[in-house]
Amino acid sequence: MIAFLVAVADQSRFDAIAAPGIERVREPDSLVVTVRPEPGRGPQRALNAALDELVEQPDLEAVVILHEDVELVGLDTAAVVRDAFTDPDVAIAGAIGAQGVPGLAWWAGIPIGATGTEHVPDGRIAGVIHRGPVDAVDGLVLCLSPWAVRTLRFDEALAADFHGYDIDLCFQARYHGRRVEVIPLAVHHRHRALFTDTERWVRNELRFQHQWIDHRPISERRHQELAPPASPPA
């Protein structure tokens, strides 16, 4: 069973954009869960509470978290998500992301994947290739494997200033030795183009840099530290 999870701050946008897309791609047994973010804060706490409940589903195959202004277009969405998680090392998948991500601005790396948008001349943002491993994916769509639902949670320390919860979650997955992948999801992001949140962005960028770049760099050595020590030879 694939569950769909949306943090809804604007009910009218959800009803007009995300809800019809989910209805288009959902299967008969799919769960659709909506939560309300705390006013003036990010959606982390509400999403975490929903994940705590979804992890109890015995037949859970994936949780697809999307923004209220993202329309799922591809009728093959469920099949694409399932295919991504046939590899147990893949923890998170999305529509667009990048390699060489230096911080919250993932697009400063090497973009991979594609998404529709009204805010560029050809109506589509596309990376150098359409799928593959990345450091992080954009949170407009985050597909979580059962392992990720059991193991990862959004960092509520970032909630006060909203930004970066998606990139942080991807770095968590990679810290634990799992992979983040861009997969060929057909989506259209009908977002507002304005950005007036510079101070909040900078505060969370500094938190992210302190957490991941300064003190917990992603590396194979770190992953090995998580493994239990080998038994001494008999």
User: Two tokens at 58?
Assistant: 């015995």
User: Which pLDDT score is estimated for 3?
Assistant: 97
Predicted local distance difference test score (pLDDT) of residue 66: 95
Q: How many CA atoms lie within 13 A of 234 on its CB side?
A: 0
The number of angstroms, rounded, from the C-alpha of 234 to the middle of its chain's C-alpha atoms is 45
Q: pLDDT value at position 52?
A: 95
Q: Looking at residue 68, what DSSP letter applies?
A: T
**DSSP letter for each residue of 94-139:** ESEEEES--SS-GGGSEEEEEEEETTSTTSEEE-SSSSEEESEE-T
pLDDT at res. 216: 58
Cβ–Cβ < 8 Å for 179, 173: yes
Kindly report, residue by residue over 2-49, the tens digit of the pLDDT: 999 999 999 999 999 999 999 999 999 999 999 998 877 778 899 999
All domains in the chain, ordered by first residue: 2-226 (3.90.550.10)
- Residues 49, 159 contacting (CB under 8 angstroms): no
Angle at 143 (CA atoms; ends 209, 17), nearest 5 degrees: 105
DSSP bridge pairs for 98:
111, 136
Nearest-angstrom CA–CA distance, 41 and 162: 6
Q: Which residue positions in the chain have pLDDT lower than 70?
A: 118-129, 192-196, 214-234
Any idea which residue has 């003190």 for tokens?
Answer: 215
Q: What pLDDT was estimated at residue 2?
A: 97
Sole residue written with tokens 């099949």: 79
> What does the pLDDT read at residue 214?
67
